[in-house]
Amino acid sequence: MGEENAEQAYEHTKVARRFAARIGVVREAVGIAAYHAGHFAEALSDLRAARRMTGSDAYLPIMADCERGLGRPERALDLVRSKEAERLDRMGKIELAIVESGARRDLGQKDAAVVTLQRLPELRDSRPQPWSARLAFAYADALADAGHEGAATDWFGRAMAFDEDGETDAAERYAELTGAVIEDLEEDLDDEAADEDVSEDEAAVEVGELTGPALPAEDEDEAGFEDESDEDELDEDEESATVETAVDEKTTETGVGPAFIEPDFGDALDTDEDEDDQASDKDDEK
């Protein structure tokens, strides 16, 4: 959402608040619109009102980020450590961790900002999730701020791959670190998609060449009989091969080793030679 659209949306929600200020959903919409428009004090006020009316803690990450926007990172960390934060769902806890990482950076705790996101198991999930783009971008941003430009470049690339809707500035940040032009990146992505389409078409053509043209019904029947006879011949060959294999296995079990091992008959030859020597000695004695 552009700045003009965000401001316009905020103005529309303010009109709705004028007529339905006691409805929690309306105050929530006003608070979120004010947040996107950069009116953090107004957003915080409306979200607090919505929280009282609805009893929901889902607005906690946005409220903490509003505290950051007002230059109060300590208050943002207080919300992060609150009991209400423990009741958030998985998405809410990830968003709150992103805000906590930003608050750590605001306080000059750059390494702590990186570690805050490193401890999230969702960071290592390669499957696209609703939070994947924002989490990868926040982690890359923290790495870049801590001086780890190489790792930051890799993570901006991951965020760019996850961010199909352009929710973050991952493409711009990646281009800044690599010196690449965004148009070139888009062309590369288009080329990759085109290559995939060509590969699929070639695969389809190859399948068509292998299967050949469709046969008439009579030819298909004849081909079916030929295939069955071929299968019978193959079955007979397989049976004979199985019998030969079984014979070979029995032969191997009787003591004949594999072909590449020469049997050792040394003991048998020595015995025959000893018997011949004894016979010759007896002849000499006679």
pLDDT of residue 180: 76
User: Rounded to 5 degrees, what are φ and ψ at 169?
Assistant: -100, 30
Q: Which amino acid is at 101?
A: S
Residue 271 lies in a domain: no
Q: How many residues does the chain have?
A: 286
Residue 257 lies in a domain: no
pLDDT of residue 184: 52
pLDDT of residue 210: 43
Q: Tell me if 169 sits within 8 A of 156, measured CB to CB.
A: no
pLDDT of residue 91: 96
Instruction: State the Cα–Cα distance between residues 163 and 43, nearest whole angstrom.
Output: 26
Residue 145 lies in a domain: yes
Instruction: State the Cα–Cα distance between residues 90 and 96, nearest whole angstrom.
Output: 10
3-class secondary-structure state, position 146 = coil
Residue 167 lies in a domain: yes
Element (H, E) at 176: helix 170-178
Residue 104 lies in a domain: no
Expressed in angstroms, the distance from the first to the final Cα of the chain is 122
Domain that holds residue 175: 121-195
Chain segment 59-101, per-residue pLDDT in tens: 999 999 999 999 999 999 999 999 999 999 999 999 999 999 9
pLDDT of residue 249: 45
Residue 259 lies in a domain: no
Please provide the DSSP assignment of 24-88 as one string: HHHHHHHHHHHHHTT-HHHHHHHHHHHHHHH---TTHHHHHHHHHHTT-HHHHHHHHTSGGGGG-
pLDDT of residue 182: 60
For helices 3-19 and 24-36, give the axis angle rounded to 10 degrees.
160
Residue 163 lies in a domain: yes
pTM given for the model? 0.63
Q: How many domains does the chain have?
A: 1
From first to last of its 286 residues, what are the pLDDT tens digits of the chain? 456 699 999 999 999 999 999 999 999 999 999 999 999 999 999 999 999 999 999 999 999 999 999 999 999 999 999 999 999 999 999 999 999 999 999 999 999 999 999 999 999 999 999 999 999 999 999 999 999 999 999 999 999 999 999 899 999 999 999 987 665 555 555 555 555 554 555 555 444 544 454 444 444 444 444 454 454 454 555 544 444 444 344 444 433 333 333 333 344 444 444 545 554 454 444 4
